[in-house]
Structure formats: structure tokens, C-alpha cells
Amino acid sequence: MYPDVSPRHLFNLAAVGLLILAAILVLSSPGGPLAGLFSPLQYGEATVTIHDENDTTLATVDVRIADTEHERWVGLSETDTLEDGEGMLFVHENTGTYAYVMPDDDDRNMSFPLDIIFIDADGQITTVHHAPLAENADNPNQGYRGQGRYVLEVPYGWTNETGIGVGDRVSIPQSVHD
């Protein structure tokens, strides 16, 4: 025979179940300690080309593609360095205003400064930021804001060295859009 189960006992069991479910969701969220177990980093790769208004090629960049929430959250924080011609392309589903940070915390410590380039859906550069390490910034919690669908992160000062700026165009392969 089955023991009698009171409504209060059923309520307590349901409450415990919901707490366990909430804990799993929090722990496996992009910033949670279990995120990598449920969504390992598997960056795609591509090469993007940057052109000026005369369609002159200014530079090419071999990029890792961060197109999931978890990949965008981790970004380059698990990378020790970037060489010239290397970067990460963050792909958002929609054009919008986004803020990128130079994290200096236990989970996402950045090892090197970056140039952060915002690119609209048509490939035009809308904003360029030069982002020092958080420890060297005037405001270590500063967010670098810009409008676009894509964000390209490259080594600090690279945009100055290559002459890349607002209004230039980034050719992004069709495979990245899909």
C-alpha cells in the first residue's frame, strides 16, 4: 500500500523540485560555473576583410566567431594574446546597441587590451574604441558601447596602425550570416 501523502508534503516536494531546477538554470547560465559543461566553446572560424570608401583593402583578420550567448559572454577572456591579423567576431541576432567590457574578475579576466569595433548589418564600421585593461582604465567598470550587429575585437592600437576607422566596410563571409 502507498502511504497517505498530505497536500503540505506535496507542496514541499514541488518547492524543493523548483529550487533544484532554478539552481541548475543559474549554475548553467552563460556566467555560471557549469556553463561549459552544457555548452562547450566551439568557435567557428572565418576571415574578414576591411575596405575603405574606395574599396581599397586595408586589412584582413582571421577571426574566431562567437555567435552563441555563452561564446559572447566568455569572448577572449580565455585567450592569452592576439597577434596582428587575429581577432574575434561577435555575432548578434539583431542590430542593436551593445556594451562590451574588459572584465577583471575571477571568471573572465582579460590578459591584454583591445580595439573594439562595432559593425552594422551592412558591414559598415559605426564605432571604434581603444580599450585598455581594466586595471589601466580611468573607469575599470566602463562599458564600451556601440551600435551594430557585429563586434570585432582585435589587438589594441591595430586600427590606428592599419588606418581603419568609422565608415570603413567589413566584408563578412556569408557562412557567418547563416
Q: What is the pTM of this model?
A: 0.75
Is the CB of residue 131 less than 8 Å from the CB of residue 102?
A: yes
Question: How far is Cα 69 from Cα 175, in angstroms, rounded to an integer?
Answer: 18
For 36, the 3-state DSSP assignment is helix
pLDDT of residue 106: 55
- The boundaries of every CATH 2.60.120.1140 domain in the chain are 42-177
pLDDT of residue 1: 53
pLDDT of residue 41: 74
pLDDT of residue 175: 84
Chunk the chain into consecutive blocks of 10 residues (it has 178) and report each block's average pLDDT, rounded to whole numbers.
68 73 59 55 91 96 93 87 93 94 68 93 96 69 88 96 96 84
Residues with Cβ within 8 Å of residue 127, at least 6 apart in sequence: 117, 118, 145, 146, 147, 148, 166
Structurally, at CATH architecture level, domain 42-177 sits in Sandwich (2.60)
Question: How far is Cα 70 from Cα 53, in angstroms, rounded to an integer?
Answer: 34
For 154, the 3-state DSSP assignment is strand
